[in-house]
Chains A and B, each alone.
Chain A
């Protein structure tokens, strides 16, 4: 035996992976074993610092890691095998890329000598995941592994966060090499995200803000990604300036929904007041958001009279969709701090009383109005009841994608960041249930609810089994209308009510399904039974499938028909057949 055998940094590739996880403070990972990761699973078996959560499908591991990341602010980690294990990760990786979620995926690969041979469970993982990761690596030499793993964590969590993937062939996992703890030189010298905002730009921004007559702050997920300090500073800026604030779907919770300057969410299904404020403002401060098409509506009619300030850590977000006047590149926490400092030193709170009066008139339109019923549960009512029942509790909400997601964004009030996990950019049906698993792992004593639709939830239903295995008492609150509600809504509004394949004729019995998994099933039909059933759901300390039968043909309003401007919203009380036909007349938008 050589002296090297006593060197504690000499170890196998598989051991390095577990060691690197520990060195990066990882306590929980989500994964699924297979041939090409068996050496890593063998290492996991022989230690207790990293807890492994066995999912039922690799997509579930990815979304669970996303939920874990978004609810903690720490990177989520997934471990999958080669071939199908890796391809099943493509959806969560893309989801995390679109929503800027720090995710580290470690995938097994066939041994290096078999790469390119069409070996069993081989696929070109780095090739397939190149466009859906912030960066990825194939490690061919065990002595590169430590450096790559450390760089992977650094890249995932710094700058604009995002998913990364490290592909490790099985022979590299078995080979012995030298490990080193994380160090600065592990990172590409070419990677240096800009954090500090340009001082001249910040002064220009403050000058615009101080002179504003009709200002608005439009914040996004970047504020939450930046960390608690950015949230605090955003709230302080709203306080100091007295400006109205709206937020994207991703940004909910950065400013409290109960705050007096809150306009509600903006965009396609945002409130009337938020969208009108955006349309008519003279100064717009966009913080950590990216002028997505669901936000802007028709771009050439987007907020035509305003000067736009855009804070973003990613230079490629600037001027991508909307040309802005004052771009500031850097971390939004940092820049908000600088703006506040200059504003407090040199500017006075502008008098915008008249603007608030105008906003009050828009608010009075009550754009989230819906007609309650004594016979049938309205989905909006169900979410309001859920919100009332969980208000003040330590609650985390995840969602799937569709009508229920928009209603949740409209009717559930978020007071804090990291409490709202939803697939915004990619719009991944099936995100919410596994995400809830991940959130519950990170917060075992909190109330974790997936507000779901009956169609979405069936895409990743198998993760109920994970929840039961690890005694994760997630609550799956299904707004069951038997339709793919948002698809049906668009078919009704845009395709002559030809409901092509948007109705699920064979719906499972969710109560029996819950029981089959070893969870608890609850079903409710009548509005009068709703509150009691929700209380029952909350008090059960096991996974629950809550089958809330709701009005099947309810539409989600208000709505900016896509391709239209913010001031062309369709409000619920106007949404009779004639007005709807008119709103969508002259053509329909492509997206």
Chain B
């Protein structure tokens, strides 16, 4: 091919990515979650985890917890873009407050017999996971904790007969007496 290619400048940016947890208080109305998700996909932002549920039914308020990654400038953009949506009341960057607690719940199904089964139960005990379903050849464990702890537990279960996992995604709340 001797046809000159259309070579283009590509500005590369090497700002390091950060992971932030955002709490977003929204009016619970039709389409509000689609707006939030559409913003992320439309503008090319990342969603690592998303948790949403109505938290104050009288006032029709829902709380969305989003774990996202991006450069500091992108994270700032995400917050502003969320905040300017009409049904959004507040956006709080839980990571910046440095005073937040983050928890996730996972249900982990493990299948096995003999020594594997005993080992799984022993580890579950060490992680304070509860058995919420059992058969002669399987367990379902319920485990709560931060993302890292759950990842670690799942990794340990893998060689012991891990079948499947269902996770809620991260929920976050600030420490101390103040609300968001």
Contact = CB atoms under 8 A, between A and B. Distances in A.
B46 interface: no
A512 interface: no
A126 interface: yes
A126 B3 CA distance: 46
A155 B26 CA distance: 17
A519 interface: no
Chain A interface mostly helix, strand, loop or mixed? loop
Contacts of A315: 80, 83-84
B96 interface: no
A582 interface: no
Given A188-B27, A587-B9, A318 B80 contact: yes
B179 interface: no
A131 B38 contact: yes
B30 interface: yes
A314 B84 contact: yes
A502 B7 CA distance: 20
A134 interface: yes
B152 interface: no
A104 interface: no
Given A131-B42, A320-B77, A190 B11 contact: no
B126 interface: no
Interface in A148-194: 155, 160, 188-191
B86 A134 contact: yes
B31 A589 contact: no
Contact of A319 (B4, B38, B76, B83): B76
A429 to B, nearest CB: 22
Contacts of B42: 131
Interface of B is mostly: mixed
A494 interface: yes
Contact of A190 (B3, B6, B73, B88): B88
Place the interface of chain B in its size category: 20 to 34
A542 interface: no
Given A188-B86, A190-B88, A130 B30 contact: no
A127 B34 contact: yes
A568 to B, nearest CB: 12
B80 A130 contact: no
Contact of B6 (A189, A319, A588): A588
Interface in B145-164: none
Pick from A131, A323, A589, A590 the residue with the most CB of B within 10 Å. A131
B122 interface: no
Contacts of B77: 316, 319-320
Interface in A537-589: 563, 586-589
Contacts of B80: 314-316, 318
B87 interface: yes
Contacts of B19: none
Interface of B: 3-4, 6-11, 26-27, 30-31, 34-35, 38, 42, 73, 76-77, 80-81, 83-89
25 contacts: A130-B38, A135-B85, A138-B30, A138-B31, A188-B86, A189-B89, A190-B26, A190-B27, A190-B86, A190-B88, A298-B9, A300-B11, A314-B84, A315-B84, A316-B77, A316-B80, A318-B80, A319-B76, A320-B77, A494-B6, A496-B3, A563-B11, A587-B7, A589-B8, A590-B8
